[in-house]
Structure 1
Amino acid sequence: MIIVVDALNKHRFSALLDEMHKLRARVFHDRLGRDVTVRDGKEIDSFDHLDPAHVICLDAEGDVVGSMRLLQTTGPHMLSDMVHALLDDDAPLRSGQVWEATRFCVDTQKLSDGKTRNSISYVTSEVMIGAFEYARDAGVLDAVAVIDPVMSRVMTRCANAPYDYLGAAKPMGKGTDIAALIDCSDERIAGIRAFAGIDHDVFLSEDDALDIFNRNRDTAIGSAKVSHLVPHQTKAAITLVPDALKTALQLYCFEQMRDAESQTDLDAALALMEALSEEFGTAKASELGRMMQSLPRHSRTQVQATLN
């Protein structure tokens, strides 16, 4: 499932971009040993500050499992500013209809072999489809990519072989790279789709992408925030299903209010319930009504004020 994050929507996807940069650090720095800069576990370079388009693949659990960066060649880009030697002294490409595709990566630790939806092959194909369809619809004719022999073989297997090369392959750092030209044509996209068996729309809406990305994280973060507030015996009884968690925590708050022996105890319980209500929302009205009946009369007014 693909979401494209660019200058127009990046303000909505800062957390997702962080996860993408962490994946890039694990791939390019940790696994491939490339000379890249990693800070706070994230690989970010100067070209990320030029408002590129990031083609990001999410799995069903909302994890970032693949990505690619697309950058216009009319301004600074890697092939013109960092690895110009690959061009054999030719001038760098400069065209509004040619984009540079870089920083392609997939999460080989989480993904499996084969061609299932959770496979390296499937995610590779999905990222490629997303990138080429997004570029094609923007009026782009070609992508230029710096690839190594391994990536060249992967692209060939995926019915996505480059149609031409710029310059000759050269040693770059610990590996060998070459500048490849790849057309953003309907024929290429159809070939990748046929190879991967992908006939559906690969793109998520922004809202759907945020919902998928945040769903499991909200549960995990919320559970971590309140875990130190709940007695050990209550923790053991709570399952991490959001509605059940909300109800169990609110029941705990009501029990603390019911058993309060002083105004200080009651105030502390009310403060905890207010904090939890802000974090999780409130339980169903029927549940709240049942809980309210168990409270002393003098407590109900304060509880009602907190809930309102």
Structure 2
Amino acid sequence: MIIVVDGVNADQFQGLLSQVFELRARVFRDRLGWDVEVIDGQERDHFDDLFPTHIVSVNDDGKVAGSMRLLQTTGPNMLADVFSSILQGQPAPRSPLIWEATRFCVDTNLLESGKSNNSISYVTSEVMVGAFEYARSAGVEDAVAVIDPIMNRVLKRSSNAPYDYLGKATPMGKVTAMAALMDCSAERIEAVRSFANIKGSVFIDEEEAIERFGDENLNPQTPEALDAIRSYMFEQLNAATDPNELRAAIKVLTELQSSSNQLLTESPATHS
């Protein structure tokens, strides 16, 4: 099942995020040998401080089986700021309609081979479906992902082949990096669902997710944090260059306003 953890609800899922960062350390440093910073067993970077969205696959026991990070390309992102050499001098994509997907990983120790619901193949596809469907619901049309040749083959085998690439494959230390483009189309989502035999919604309702997997002694999202996220989204609104981009930014701002109103209604200060 997929839990979407973003800047609005992250305070309620700090335990799950800790699992995500620990999984990233095991995958990217320990298994793949990437040059990433790991502190206290967790792999994090400064992009994790920019209110990204994490698509998190969780099993019935509350264990994180896989995850992916989504960032807006209108702000700082890995392709523009870390892997720009892939682009061979071309500008990085900058649009509210294009999101960046990075830090995809699955727990191969927790999962098994084959195509059961507890398999590497299934969870890989589940995270992809969750990311595409979530992005599509926000009006996003395309995703750009920095991947290596191994992940490129995984995508092709799972009916999720990139439709194009930016720049060219570039050696980066121990790995070769590629910038792949994938549309968030209904056709792509259906192809991945069919490959993994995924039926019905992959998402768990947020209230149920909080009840089953949320942190104890929850600290509600503060008005200050919501204001910071809202300011960031106003920047995206001002950067919009066409009606589709405007609609995408306005939709997120509307959801943030709803969260803010709920917070004010539930705050003890409003009942004094």
* TM-score where L is the length of structure 1: 0.69
Whichever structure has more helix as a proportion of its residues is 1
Instruction: Decide whether the 8 Å contact of 1:62 with 1:214 is kept in 2.
Output: no
Aligned equivalents of 2:16 and 2:156: distance in 1?
30
SS at match of 1:102: strand
Instruction: Decide whether the 8 Å contact of 2:2 with 2:127 is kept in 1.
Output: yes
Partner of 1:81: 81
SS at match of 2:116: coil
| 1:171 and 2:171 matched | yes
Within a 5 Å distance, the mapping from 1:24-35 to structure 2 comes to 24-35=24-35
Within a 5 Å distance, the mapping from 1:234-273 to structure 2 comes to none
SS at match of 1:13: helix
Q: Which runs of 5+ in 2 are unaligned?
A: 217-272
Instruction: Decide whether the 8 Å contact of 1:63 with 1:213 is kept in 2.
Output: no
Partner of 2:184: 184
After superposition, what is the alpha-carbon deviation per residue over 1:108-143, rounded to whole angstroms, capped at 9, x for unaligned?
A: 111111000110000000000000000000000000
Within a 5 Å distance, the mapping from 1:1-308 to structure 2 comes to 1-213=1-213
How far did 1:17 drift? 0.6
Q: Sequence identity, in percent? A: 60
Q: Name the aligned partner's letter for residue 33 of structure 2.
A: G
Instruction: Decide whether the 8 Å contact of 1:28 with 1:34 is kept in 2.
Output: yes
How far did 1:214 drift? 6.1
Instruction: Decide whether the 8 Å contact of 1:60 with 1:212 is kept in 2.
Output: no
What is the number of equivalent residue pairs in this alignment? 216
How far did 1:15 drift? 1.0
* CA RMSD across the alignment: 1.3
Aligned equivalents of 2:86 and 2:188: distance in 1?
25
Q: Name the aligned partner's letter for residue 46 of structure 2.
A: S
Aligned equivalents of 1:114 and 1:108: distance in 2?
12
Larger Rg: 1
After superposition, what is the alpha-carbon deviation per residue over 1:199-248, rounded to whole angstroms, capped at 9, x for unaligned?
A: 21000112322344369x9xxxxxxxxxxxxxxxxxxxxxxxxxxxxxxx
Aligned equivalents of 1:56 and 1:180: distance in 2?
21
Q: Which runs of 5+ in 1 are unaligned?
A: 218-308
Aligned equivalents of 2:212 and 2:87: distance in 1?
41
After superposition, what is the alpha-carbon deviation per residue over 1:156-215, rounded to whole angstroms, capped at 9, x for unaligned?
A: 111000000001111112011110000000000000000010121000112322344369
